[in-house]
Amino acid sequence: MSMWRWSQKFDALPESAQISLGEGNTPLVRSRKIGPEAGLKNLFFKLECCNPSGSYKDRFASSAISHMVANGQTRCIATSSGNTGASLAAYCAAAGIDCRIAIVEGAPLGKLKQMMAYGAKIARIRRFGTDPTISEHVLSRLLAIGQRPGNALQISAFVYSPAGMSGVQSISFELAEQSPSLIDHVFCPAGSGGLCIATARGFQQLVIDGVLSKPAAVHCVQPEGNNTVAGPLRQGLLKAQTVMCTTKISGLQVASVIDGDIAVTECRATGGTGHLVADDYVWALQKRLAREEGVFSEPAGVAALAGALQAAAAGEIDPEATVVCLVTGSGFKDDAAIDRMNANDDCPTIDADQLDEW
């Protein structure tokens, strides 16, 4: 089964156009240690790192590339800080579509290698992702290129690729099916907020369909160095804000607003708010998540947990509440983060007769 079993809920396409690698239906696992120690009795992790290319962006790519197939488009033009590019490259390979990706300058090498392994043509753009002026200039150029015959611009944001992002709503449909009880809170990491929007809209759709009596409160979690959405959401503002991005958390480096205004509206409608977390706290939790829960996530995928734990410590979550953190990407994609986690460890070479002492 793939996420396409939910297609009638988000964006139906002919089965002949659906490009699937088995995305979706990712595990929902209960926290054994971190949650209980924080006073959260029902903390769960949605392991989106188990998707085919290692992140939730496979849901986006499957829907986006399927729409390209349905429309007869043959070249995908994209931007990425890593996971979007890897996912699009994989699904373009499956569909026989040419893939060209403009890369955020600070994207991890592991993610670039993954894109190239699928056959994508990529290029890093200086200061793209950290400088809002440069980022907006890149987007304007790509918008023009994406309008050429046979091309389609695919950016994982509702303002640019609503058809692709509609597939991400399947996360909410799965959560409602998987959870042993009604979910009270879902924490989402955010660059510009597209995942927050998709999750919130998915839950709202389930309420409209009569599946749920109320939506889960969808919370936006961002690094302190990329406060475009979370701060304005918490402060009661109506719109997101442009910032000079300083966070080192790959995948959450989006200085421009993009989906931010919509994210503020959609999260607030569910009763969710914003949470800002420090880079150092995220890196520390990445190690804890791996060593205490057996979940190996890239830093961006740990941001949701950081937000949930901060909210719990501040008394913002009922200890009995059912809380879900979206673990959005695999730790294998970010070599620098792995090196940081293992900085005090080593792998010695020993003789067989030393094993008793080892």
12 pLDDT higher than 80: no
Model pLDDT, residue 166: 96
Runs of H (alpha helix) within the chain: 7-10, 34-37, 57-71, 83-95, 109-117, 132-146, 162-166, 170-178, 194-208, 230-235, 260-270, 279-293, 299-313, 335-341
If you average pLDDT over residues 270-296, what whole number do you get? 97
Give the whole-number percent of the chain exceeding pLDDT 70: 100
Identity of the residue numbered 75 = R
| Nearest C-alpha neighbor of 179 from the set 30, 315, 54 | 30
Identify whether the C-beta of residue 216 lies closer than 8 Å to the C-beta of residue 184: yes
Model pLDDT, residue 107: 80
Q: Dihedral angle at the C-alpha atoms of 305, 306, 311, 317, nearest 10 degrees?
A: 10
Identity of the residue numbered 84 = T
Model pLDDT, residue 179: 94
Model pLDDT, residue 231: 97
Model pLDDT, residue 62: 98
Label residue 274 by pLDDT band (50, 70, 90): very high
DSSP tag of 105: T
Q: Which sign does the torsion angle of CA 341, 343, 349, 355 carry?
A: negative
Identity of the residue numbered 294 = G
Mean pLDDT in the chain?
94
Return d(Cα 194, Cα 158) in angstroms, integer: 6
Neighbour tally for 238: CB within 10 Å: 10
If you average pLDDT over residues 114-130, what whole number do you get? 91
The residues pairing with 322 across neighbouring beta strands, listed in sequence order, are 42
If you average pLDDT over residues 160-166, what whole number do you get? 95
Model pLDDT, residue 337: 78
* pLDDT tens track for 41-72: 999 999 999 999 999 999 999 999 999 999 99
* List of domains in the chain: 3-55+165-341 (3.40.50.1100), 57-157 (3.40.50.1100)
316 pLDDT higher than 80: yes
119-128, 148-157, 183-192, 341-350: segment of lowest average pLDDT: 341-350
* pLDDT tens track for 133-157: 888 898 899 999 999 999 999 999 9
C-alpha to C-alpha distances, 248 to 22, 35, 49, 253, nearest whole angstrom: 31, 26, 20, 7
| Nearest C-alpha neighbor of 101 from the set 42, 72, 61, 44 | 61
DSSP tag of 51: S
Run of H or E including 108: none
